[in-house]
A = this chain, B = another copy of it.
């Protein structure tokens, strides 16, 4: 676990956010994280935006409760897929694309391709 508390600049008010490096992630955890269609949607949307451009609040269009969405972000962070930081009231996200790809070559590509190929059906939730 990487504990980012007090590591970043003062403008980063992220306290208590624990990040997991993809290097530490088991295949089981990666498959569990990406086994959920909503989480794959989040990953695809983040891949389509610049780093730190998307706050968690911008995913409210996804068909899940706010608390569930929050859980999905935690699972993704724990699987080494996300880095998060707080700016004011917003929690911003960065997809750890290169790092995750280095740990699990090809896996993220399958998730991104799922969306572009029209293979990623809108989940029934």
Query: Interface of A with B (CB < 8 Å)?
Result: 26-28, 31-32, 34-35, 37, 40, 104-107, 109-111, 114, 119-121
Contacts and interface: CB of A to CB of B under 8 A. Distances in A.
Given A26-B121, A28-B35, A106-B106, 13 more contacts: A27-B110, A27-B111, A27-B114, A28-B37, A31-B31, A31-B34, A31-B35, A35-B35, A104-B110, A105-B110, A106-B107, A107-B107, A107-B110
10 contacts: A26-B121, A27-B114, A27-B120, A28-B37, A31-B35, A35-B35, A104-B110, A105-B106, A105-B110, A106-B109
A26 B109 contact: no
Nearest to A105: B106
A11 to B, nearest CB: 38
Nearest to A32: B35
Contacts of A104: 110
B27 A119 contact: yes
Nearest to A117: B27
A32 B31 CA distance: 8
Contacts of A40: 27
A78 to B, nearest CB: 16
Nearest to A113: B27
